Homo-oligomer: A and B are copies of this chain.
Amino acid sequence: MSQFKYIALAAELKHKIISNVWRAEERLPSIRVLSSEYQVSKVSVQNALHKLEANGLVKARSRSGYYVVAQDSSSPVLSQTTQKAPGLVTMPAVFHEIMARSAAFDIYPSGNVKAPSSHIQTLNRNINRAMRQQAARHALYYGSPKGDIALREQISQHYRGRDLFISAEEICITSGCQNSLFLALSSCCQPGDTVAIESPSFYGILQLLQTLKLNVIEIPASFSDGLPTQALEQAAQQWRIKACIVTPNFATPTGACMPQEEKRTLCRLAQKYEFTLIEDDIYGDLGFHFSTQPLKGLDQQNNVILCSSFSKSLSRDLRTGWIMGGKHHEAIVHLSMVNNLANNQAVQQGLARFISEGHFRRHLLQYRQTLEKQRNELINILRENWFVPFTYTTPSGGLALMVTFEQTVNCIHIYQEAIKEGIIPTPGNLFSTNDAFSNSMRLSFVHEISGKRLAAIKRLGQLVRSHV
């Protein structure tokens, strides 16, 4: 009987979670309180909680009790993109402006910004110190085209924590992840070549493909598991794919993560069909609860080019990224020199010191917690304030989630109305060459949603409603 009681209790508690009576990250009443409230034994309560925990609905925190886990309302759904023959990318010019605004990841950019964290202040002090100490040398000499060796060594060490073992020699500093992606694509593709991407995909990549006159084939991806290797293999059998760009960990806009086995399969496919894998790892350090291995860590053929930067994990104003070029590394270093000559030495030296003293690691620990908290708050706000049907992704890392409305909604129109009021959602239209995601938008949880940002989110819900 006690068995039935705990199952019935689990069902009741689950209902409270699903229906948002208990919100994400909320602490559940104590076992004693639940036992008394539902008139069941403490053992039954405990069994019910264990069942919920096994189903991923709650999680225990030691000496603190049980908490509601944020739920993904839409997993695992394949995106609506219909796969088409490879073709050149054409993006309406109006998209460029939206892209420039959307890079801010802020629903209301004129809102207040919190004071910088103590880690950012420490970083700035380190950069200032490097500027002062080497002022004359920095003014008179360019940095090495490969980048500061101390920084490259710190990056090399940092990746060990994610099961990627690579020497500083195999890393080249760039002016950011976008620049790394540019160097990667320019080095392994010629105009007219075909590049496979997941769909939805980062709009900066679509722009790159357009600029470099490359053909694109969009592989419909899962909102939770990212690029499906089976669909990619079918495409590779049909078309000559020269490169595949993928964000295996916390891809934008969905926040999807490829399962480890899929990552392995992807590396095997790259070898089998002889294409280069270009890995966008910019969100790789932002997993809330688990560390994610980069594809590069599974790359036995030196066939993966990893691109990343500190922009999303630390500061967008460092203009410091990196690339691990694999087979193409030498050509990439040369292209980087021709393209950019060198990068800021004081920033690199300050960063190297900041990382070596453990500040980056500590910053990440804190930042991940903040991001998870803000993701949960955003989801709760949406569920309580948006009176329209919508689904949303619940990424386990990164900076943003994707909401999807009914098929008839076109988010470009919502964007155009919102922007008049200073509200900047990122319409899904930007993440594909077709209109598969026109009824989706990316919402960021980089900022605390309160004050004017809270008002902006609520207002956005009203605008959506008028379009349903």
Contacts and interface: CB of A to CB of B under 8 A. Distances in A.
A359 interface: no
Contact of A179 (B132, B314, B340): B340
Interface stretch (A49-57, A108-116, A376-384, A459-467): A108-116
A319 B175 contact: yes
A137 interface: yes
A128 interface: yes
A36 interface: no
A142 interface: yes
A184 B100 CA distance: 21
Given A121-B135, A145-B100, A338 B211 contact: yes
A178 B341 contact: yes
A211 B335 contact: yes
B106 A338 contact: no
A144 B100 contact: yes
Given A178-B338, A208-B338, A338-B204, A138 B315 contact: yes
Contact of A124 (B106, B132, B204): B132
A104 B141 contact: yes
A104 B182 contact: no
Given A135-B120, A175-B175, A317-B143, A204 B113 contact: no
A339 B116 contact: no
Given A338-B178, A343-B319, A135 B124 contact: yes
Contacts of A207: 334, 337-338
Interface in A130-156: 131-132, 135-145
Interface in A276-334: 311, 314-319, 334
Contact of A345 (B96, B143, B317): B317
Centre residue among A116, A135, A144, A341 by max chain B CB count within 10 A: A341
Nearest to A333: B96
Contacts of A136: 113-116, 120
B139 A317 contact: yes
A205 B179 CA distance: 20
A108 to B, nearest CB: 12
Contacts of A179: 339-341
A100 B340 CA distance: 12
A94 to B, nearest CB: 12
A446 interface: yes
A339 B182 contact: yes
A182 B446 contact: no
Contacts of A227: none
A267 B446 CA distance: 50
A18 interface: no
Contacts of A127: 131
Contacts of A99: 337
Contacts of A338: 178, 182, 204, 207-208, 211
Given A124-B132, A127-B131, A340 B138 contact: no
Nearest to A103: B142
B131 A204 contact: no
Centre residue among A120, A121, A135, A208 by max chain B CB count within 10 A: A135
A314 B315 CA distance: 26
Interface of A: 96, 99-100, 103-106, 109, 113-116, 120-121, 124, 127-128, 131-132, 135-145, 175-176, 178-179, 182, 191, 204, 207-208, 211, 311, 314-319, 334-335, 337-347, 446-447
Top 5 A-B residue pairs of the complex, sorted by shortest distance between their CB atoms = A138-B317, A139-B315, A116-B135, A116-B136, A178-B341
28 contacts: A96-B334, A96-B337, A104-B140, A104-B142, A105-B140, A106-B141, A113-B137, A114-B136, A116-B135, A116-B136, A116-B139, A141-B316, A142-B311, A142-B317, A143-B317, A175-B340, A176-B341, A179-B340, A179-B341, A191-B191, A204-B341, A207-B338, A211-B335, A316-B342, A317-B345, A319-B343, A344-B344, A344-B347
Given A106-B140, A113-B137, A139-B314, 11 more contacts: A104-B141, A106-B141, A121-B135, A138-B316, A140-B446, A175-B175, A175-B340, A204-B341, A316-B342, A317-B345, A340-B340
